[in-house]
Structure formats: structure tokens, C-alpha cells
Homo-oligomer: A and B are copies of this chain.
């Protein structure tokens, strides 16, 4: 979650022509999306291949014979606790924001920027004070559902299932999309029953989300950022930390109730031993257990809510997932297990 731009280098850049800019200021992260036309000198600010690929699917490319939007979407993110870096980035980029028509109004003029998330309320005064811009607040759940419906209907191969490390794209009939459960995993988790365009209800959620993974992870490991913790979990073995059914039953399962010996009986249950301190555990094993604990739990609560409302499809979204295979696999396993 390093911020993308080195603000100190921006002053030497030519002015950037941005036709649209929008922000989502969540509890952990600020997400920026902005659109540059090809004639502009917009820098290519992607920091990961997944965002690049998402972007490529949404926009035409320079090399294409028939550009559709004649421009490109750019994504950027900052940690919310580093809001000042974000403000500095916006200032030093000398962004110019307008519609699709040429605009020469600098950012410091009285401009409204679309913004969503709790931070649109929390930091409204700060944006006004530091950049002179007003945040035009939109409701985050409405934006989430509208965006989700748009992507699911308009973008081929947007949705996919994930199980046993296999990603399989799902082609959804737009006439058979609703109702579905949208599970948005940010710092916390919101579960939204979507019944149609603009028709939705937040039916459930859990406080065990991405913020819990990263918050507990920071306290338990020496990791310095979210992605490092996630990367570490790849190499870990949760069985070192979790108490499995087999640990309780002496290596055998509890077949009568469908509990195999490798089922996690108690997350972090092995850490109850007096013999080991935090430093005695490998951070990769701790990270893996944390990820399984939180992903399993989200999968289970999602499944129970889908059952409750008779919803046949659950879509998982949010920064916590971001194409991370093991996370998706764990959530899928949990949905299928319960």
C-alpha cells in the first residue's frame, strides 16, 4: 500500500490533463480513479498488473485501430492515514479537471470532485482547506451497487468462480442477474442483497475484514504493509498455529460429524501452549492462519446470508480480494464447506 507517486518528482512533469477524477476514501485506503485523454500527458500510474488488466478491459488502447473513449483510466491508492500524501500528489500533479471538453481551470479553483466512503465526510474540510476543492459526496453503497451492476452486465469475463486454484469465468445472462448477494470486503465487510438497478438492502456484514487481517497482522508480524503480509501468507503453513480436529483427536478425524482431521477446529488454538511465545512462530505461518481465519469466516457468513434470502449467487468484491488466489480459494472452500 505504498502510495504510487513520488510527489517530489512531480513538479518537473508537464501539467496533466484529467477530464474526470473520483475518490473513494475508506477506513484503510483512499482509491483514486482518473481518466486522461490520449492527447494528455498523463503518466501511467499503474502499480500492479491486475489493475492494468482491469483498466485495459475498460478502455481502448493507444495501439487499437478504433479507440472508443479516446483515453485511459488510471487507478491510484494511498493509505488513508497518509491523507496528506494524497493531497500533495493531487496538488503537485497540477491536475486540471473538467468534462470531456477542454478545461483550463486549475485544481485550486472551486471545483467539485465526486467522492464516496466515510472519508468524503471526514476529510471534506481538509480538501477544501488544502486544495480549495469541494467533495461532492455520493453514497458509497449506492455507488458500489451501481458499479457492480454495470460491470456484471457490460463487461465480458468480469465475474468468475474460484476453486481448487482454478479460475473459471462465468458468463451471466443480464436478465438472470438478480437477486444476488454482494459481499464487499474492505476494512470491514458489508453484505448487500441486490434486487435490481438501484434496488438493494444492506442485510448483514461483519467486523472481521481486511482491516482485521492487516491490523492483527501488523501486531503479530514485522510486516510493514498489507501486500507484504499477503505475500508472506503464500509461504506459510497454518497447521503450525491452528488447532486441527486431528490435533484434538490424536490424528484421527471426527467422521461421525463430517469433520476431517485437517479441519480447523480452533483458529490460533495451538498458540494456547505455554511453551511458545510470539517470536517462536514464523510470521508466514501466523499470516496464513490469519488469512484463513478471516476468509473462512467471511465465506461462512456470506453463505448463511445467501441461504437466508434464497440467493443463488454471491459476488465477492473489495480491496481485500484483488485477484489474490489463496484468499479467493479459502472463501470458496468456506462457502462450499458450510
A contact residues vs B (CB 8 Å cutoff):
26-28, 79, 81, 117-119, 121-123, 139, 141, 186-188, 202, 204, 206-212, 214-216, 218-220, 224, 226, 241-243, 245, 247-252, 254, 256-258, 264-275, 277-278, 281, 286, 293, 296-297, 300-301, 304-305, 307-308, 338
- Partner among B209, B242, B247 whose Cβ is within 8 Å of the Cβ of A207: B242
Determine how close the nearest CB of chain B comes to the CB of A267; give it in whole angstroms.
4
Query: Which residues in B have their C-beta under 8 angstroms from that of A224?
Result: 274
- A26/B211 in contact, CB under 8 A: no
- A265/B207 in contact, CB under 8 A: yes
Determine how close the nearest CB of chain B comes to the CB of A334; give it in whole angstroms.
10
- B219/A268 in contact, CB under 8 A: yes
- A211/B269 in contact, CB under 8 A: yes
Determine how close the nearest CB of chain B comes to the CB of A208; give it in whole angstroms.
6
- Partner among B215, B281, B304 whose Cβ is within 8 Å of the Cβ of A305: B304
- A248/B304 in contact, CB under 8 A: no
Query: Which residues in B have their C-beta under 8 angstroms from that of A214?
Result: 271-272
Contacts A215-B243, A224-B274 known; list 19 others, CB within 8 Å: A81-B273, A81-B274, A118-B254, A122-B249, A186-B266, A187-B265, A187-B272, A188-B266, A206-B297, A207-B242, A207-B264, A207-B296, A211-B265, A211-B272, A215-B241, A215-B269, A216-B216, A216-B268, A301-B301
Query: Which residues in B have their C-beta under 8 angstroms from that of A256?
Result: 139, 141
- A208/B243 in contact, CB under 8 A: no
Determine how close the nearest CB of chain B comes to the CB of A251; give it in whole angstroms.
8
- Contacts A204-B338, A242-B207 given: A122-B250 contact, CB under 8 Å? yes
Complex-state Cα separation, A225 to B266, whole angstroms: 17
Complex-state Cα separation, A260 to B96, whole angstroms: 37
Determine how close the nearest CB of chain B comes to the CB of A172; give it in whole angstroms.
26
Query: Which residues in B have their C-beta under 8 angstroms from that of A264?
Result: 188, 207
- Partner among B187, B254, B305 whose Cβ is within 8 Å of the Cβ of A269: B187
Complex-state Cα separation, A273 to B81, whole angstroms: 7
Complex-state Cα separation, A123 to B248, whole angstroms: 10
Complex-state Cα separation, A232 to B158, whole angstroms: 48
Complex-state Cα separation, A265 to B215, whole angstroms: 13
- A266/B300 in contact, CB under 8 A: no
- Contacts A139-B256, A256-B139, A265-B27 given: A272-B207 contact, CB under 8 Å? no
Determine how close the nearest CB of chain B comes to the CB of A83; give it in whole angstroms.
12
- A257/B202 in contact, CB under 8 A: yes
Closest to A204 in B: B338
Query: Which residues in B have their C-beta under 8 angstroms from that of A301?
Result: 300-301, 304
Complex-state Cα separation, A129 to B47, whole angstroms: 62
